[in-house]
Chain A
Amino acid sequence: AQSVTQLGSHVSVSEGALVLLRCNYSSSVPPYLFWYVQYPNQGLQLLLKYTTGATLVKGINGFEAEFKKSETSFHLTKPSAHMSDAAEYFCAAYNTDKLIFGTGTRLQVFP
C-alpha cells in the first residue's frame, strides 16, 4: 500500500534560516506529490505539486520542493524563514484514485 512519511513532527528554525521539511513516499509507481499548508483553525492550502516534467517545483510563499525518484523523496525547502511561515505542513501522494497524507510537520519560527 502506498504510504507517505514525514520525518520530524516538529521543526523549529530562526527567522531568516533555511527551512527543510522532509517527505518520503513508498510506491512502485511515482505518484503525483503535493505539499499543503494549514494555518491554525483553517483548512488546507496547496503550496506546490509535482505531476510530471521538471523535478524542481516552485510554489507559493517562496517554497520549493524537489522530486527525487532514486530517493523516493519530495522534500520542501525555503531559503529564508519568515514568522508568517509558522504552520503545519502536510506532504501527500496521489496514486490510483486516493490521496494519502503524511502525519504532518509543525513548523515554528523564532525571532
Chain B
Amino acid sequence: DAGITQSPRHKVTETGTPVTLRCHQTENHRYMYWYRQDPGHGLRLIHYSYGVKDTDKGEVSDGYSVSRSKTEDFLLTLESATSSQTSVYFCAISAYTGSGTEAFFGQGTRLTVV
C-alpha cells in the first residue's frame, strides 16, 4: 500500500468551518495527489505536489488549499467548508515500480459538511 495513511478517516463538520485533512507517506515519494470522489464524477484531481513546497492546481481546486512542508506530509485544507464539499477524499502517491509508474491510494476520508 506504499505506506499511505489518511487522517481522519471520517469527519463531520459545520458549514463555514475550516477543515484540514492529512496524508502521510513513509517512503519519500516525490509526487502526491488529492482527489475527491463523487457519484457520476469519478475521481477528480484537486491539487498535487511534486516536491516540498511545490504544488499545483488540479481541475477542482476552488475552495481548497494545500501545503507540503516536508516530503512525507501533504495537507488539504478546506478554508470554509460548504455542503458541496461533502465527499470522499483520496490521497495518492505515484511511484516507479520497475515496470513503470503506478499510483497508490490511501483508504480515503469521508467528509460530511452539515
Contact = CB atoms under 8 A, between A and B. Distances in A.
A46 B102 contact: yes
Contact of A51 (B40, B58, B99): B99
User: Could you say which interface size class chain A belongs to?
Assistant: 20 to 34
Contacts of B101: 32, 51, 94
Contacts of A42: 107
Contacts of A100: 45
Interface stretch (A62-70, A78-86, A101-109): A101-109
Central interface residue in B35, B42, B45, B102, by most chain A CB within 10 Å: B42
Interface of A, secondary structure class, is strand
Given A51-B99, A51-B101, A99 B33 contact: yes
Nearest to B43: A101
Contact of A103 (B40, B92, B108): B40
Contacts of B50: 97
Nearest to A44: B105
B94 A101 contact: no
Interface in A40-77: 42-44, 46, 49, 51-52
Nearest to A51: B100
B48 A97 contact: yes
A9 interface: yes
A98 B45 contact: yes
B69 to A, nearest CB: 20
B40 A43 contact: no
B102 A49 contact: yes
A49 B102 CA distance: 8
Interface of B: 31, 33, 35, 40-45, 48, 50, 56, 58, 90, 92, 94, 99-103, 105-108
20 contacts: A6-B42, A34-B103, A42-B107, A43-B107, A44-B90, A44-B105, A49-B100, A49-B102, A51-B99, A51-B101, A90-B42, A94-B103, A97-B56, A98-B58, A99-B33, A99-B94, A99-B103, A100-B45, A101-B35, A102-B42
